[in-house]
Amino acid sequence: MDSVEVATEERTPLLNSEVEEILPTQSDAPAKPDPIGRRLVSLDVFRGLTVALMILVDDAGGAFPVINHSPWFGVTLADFVMPFFLFGVGVSIALVCKKIPNKVVSTNKVIVRTVKLFLLGLILQGGYFHGRDSLTYGVDIDRIRWLGVLQRISIGYFLAAMSEIWLVSNISVDSPMSFVKKYCIEWVVAILLSSLYVGLVYGLHVPNWTFELPSTNSTLSIPSYGGRAETVQCGVRGSLEPPCNAVGLIDRLLLGERHLYQRPVYRRTKDCSINSPDYGPLPPNSPVWCLAPFDPEGILSSLMASITCFAGLHFGHFIVHYKSHAQRLLLWSMNSLVFFLCGYIVQFLGMPFSKPLYTLSYMFLTTGASGFLLTLIYYIVDSKGFRKPFILLQWMGMNALIVYALAACELFPAAMQGFYWRSPSNNLVKAKALIISPGPVPSFLLVKIKDILLPPWKPFPIVPFF
């Protein structure tokens, strides 16, 4: 079975990867090596669906909180997006790293690509761009956000790729036992990283800590520091609540509070918002930590998130070593079920689902969901050959990084603000927001509708409807 070759290409997959396909045979007989350059279409569709889902929850999550990120504990539709990305990266690495002619050269390439992806994330999400509602740009290095979505993906990619290059045994796979022996060291590393996460989360003592309340510059809408200091009362160990967890402690110690995300998701909890589960004004007697920073893509949570990449590696190995559709679908389904059930078992044992903390239970649950989704897409697209309905998603998956930067990071909406109706405030971005967000029609839009329906060149009066 190990005779099947996977072409290693110049570009290692991140988000917009070029993934070579290993097509299965219809029988269990030994197969000849597949032609080079054929793609695993289901993986492209999987990535494209993930990007589309991200755009959906980013644009419509404010109007429909049920699909927005969970305020702290629990899982919603939006909470599956990040694990889907990481899982897809792991699968891609397994396909591209099937044959490694030179480990040192491959390592250098991985390091370069990791740095590039990290720096791109720093530019897109570090505060350099001020969002769709502002055409200004620039960031104060004293409060740049060091970590973000692309930075987390780069960390997971680096750890998984290094493991695939250096920790895989050089043995042929001709039985289930040889499959386990070939990749067992990778799983030992994954277990050690998971154990480190759990040990730090429940073992670190979180003392009381102080943060500065930011004040907003009315002209640029940019937070500045040096305001009133507030103290969060903790002095606990093993807490998973927003103010006193070890994940936030490590980020504050190593990164500094000014370099963390300043609008954390727990501001949508009932303790911090009268409009919970959406953002809103603070309720009376709200705790001071409601205004404190917290990074959902922090150091410790990103360490745990990298395990999702290792799980993707595991699923990718099945593609490399098992040739028939039936074998792949069966193995993927069984492993997905195990991950899924482990998520609920760990939750039952006391570790709840939490995307901001990327808890062990959340990792298991979302990995199982990722596996189930990839299995379903593979069955429809690659096994049954229904590809035409998914051409758009396939294209998005092949260009996922570009689509992500333009849409999810709001570069495209910011550029579209240059097209407006008579006044820069009446731009296409706000018009789209009116379609998605419920509420009364603003007066400026009513005026424009009147101008269209009641043009000044009409020779006779028309009774207005507005």
Question: How far is residue 76 CA from its own chain's centroid?
Answer: 13
Residues 46 and 171 in one domain: yes
The pLDDT of residue 400 is 87
- The pLDDT score that the predictor gives to residue 124 is 80
Residue 151 shares a structural domain with residue 214:
no
SS (H, E, C) 224-253: ECCCCEEEECCCEECCCCCCCCHHHHHHHH
pLDDT computed for residue 56 by the predictor: 85
> How far is Cα 450 from Cα 463, in angstroms, rounded to an integer?
11
Q: What is the 3-state secondary structure (H, E, C) of 335-363?
A: HHHHHHHHHHHHHHCCCCCECCCCCHHHH
Q: What's the CA gap between 82 and 153, in Å, rounded?
A: 9
Q: Kindly state whether residues 87 and 167 are assigned to the same domain.
A: yes
240: which residues sit within 8 A by CB, 6+ positions away? 73, 201, 351, 352, 354, 357, 359
Does 8 map to a domain? no
Residues 339 and 226 placed together within one structural domain of the fold: no
Whether 123 maps to a domain, the answer reads: yes
- Looking at the fold, whether 446 and 367 belong to one and the same domain comes out as no
**φ/ψ of residue 215, rounded to 5:** -110, 145
- Which pLDDT value is given to residue 39? 72
- Residues forming beta bridges with residue 263, ordered by sequence position: none
Regarding whether 255 and 145 lie in a shared domain, the answer is: no
Check whether residue 100 and residue 129 sit in a common domain.
Answer: yes
Residue 184 belongs to a domain: yes
Find out whether the peptide bond into 13 is cis, omega within 30 degrees of 0. no
Closest to 382 measured CA to CA, from 85, 26, 3: 26
Establish if 5 belongs to a structural domain: no
Q: Are residues 317 and 458 in the same domain?
A: no
Q: Which residues contact 206 (CB under 8 A, 6 or more apart)?
A: 234, 235, 236, 237, 239, 244, 245, 246, 248, 249
CA–CA separation, 116 vs 151, rounded Å?
10
- Beta-carbon contacts of 98 under 8 Å, excluding residues fewer than 6 positions away, are 5, 6, 8, 320
Tokens for 99, please give them.
Answer: 């044959």
Residue 6 is predicted with a pLDDT of: 39
**pLDDT score recorded for residue 422:** 61
Q: What are phi and psi of 248, to 5 degrees?
A: -70, -35
Residue by residue, DSSP assigns 50-102 as HHHHHHHHHHHTTT-GGGSPPSSSB--GGGGHHHHHHHHHHHHHHHHTS--S-
Question: Has residue 166 been placed in a domain?
Answer: yes
**Number of structural domains, the chain?**
3
Of 291, 314, 340, which one is at a domain's C-terminal end? 291
**Tokens linked to 156:** 């997971």
Residues of the domain holding 348: 41-189+299-413
29 inside domain: no
Residue where one domain finishes, among candidates 372, 391, 413: 413
- How high is the pLDDT of residue 26? 41
> pTM value?
0.81
Burial of 37 (0-12, 13-18, 19+ CB in 10 A): exposed
Mark which of 258, 291, 324 sits at the end of a domain.
Answer: 291
Q: What is the pLDDT of residue 172?
A: 87
Coil, strand or helix at 271: coil
Residues 379 and 443 occupy one common structural domain: no
* 66 and 174 part of one domain: yes
Which distant-in-sequence residues (6+ apart) come within 8 Å of 191 by Cβ? none
From first to last of the 466 residues of the chain, give the pLDDT tens digit. Answer: 443 343 433 444 444 444 444 444 444 444 344 443 467 899 999 999 999 998 888 777 667 777 888 889 999 999 999 999 999 999 999 999 888 889 999 999 999 999 999 998 888 876 555 556 555 566 667 778 888 899 999 999 999 999 999 998 888 888 889 899 999 999 999 999 999 999 999 999 999 999 888 665 444 444 555 567 888 999 999 999 999 999 999 999 999 888 888 888 889 888 898 888 888 888 888 899 988 999 999 999 999 999 999 999 999 999 999 989 999 999 999 999 999 999 999 999 999 999 999 999 999 999 999 999 999 999 999 999 889 999 999 999 998 888 887 776 666 666 666 666 666 666 665 655 555 455 554 444 444 444 544 444 444 343 333 3
Domain check: are 304 and 273 in the same one?
Answer: no
C-alpha 231/C-alpha 208 separation (Å) is: 7
SS3 4: coil
Across 90-122, b (16+ Cβ under 10 Å) vs e yields bbbbbbbbbeeeeeeebeebbeebbeebbebbb
| 8 Å CB contact between 23 and 5 | no
Element containing residue 312 per DSSP (H, E): helix 299-321
| d(C-alpha 77, C-alpha 233), whole Å | 33
Residues 431, 60: Cα–Cα separation, whole Å: 14
Whether 304 is in a domain gets the answer: yes
pLDDT, residue 447, reads 46
Per the domain annotation, does 69 fall within a domain? yes
In which residue are the tokens 């004040």 written?
A: 215
Is the same domain home to 273 and 315?
no
Quick count: other Cβ atoms within 10 Å of Cβ 243? 21
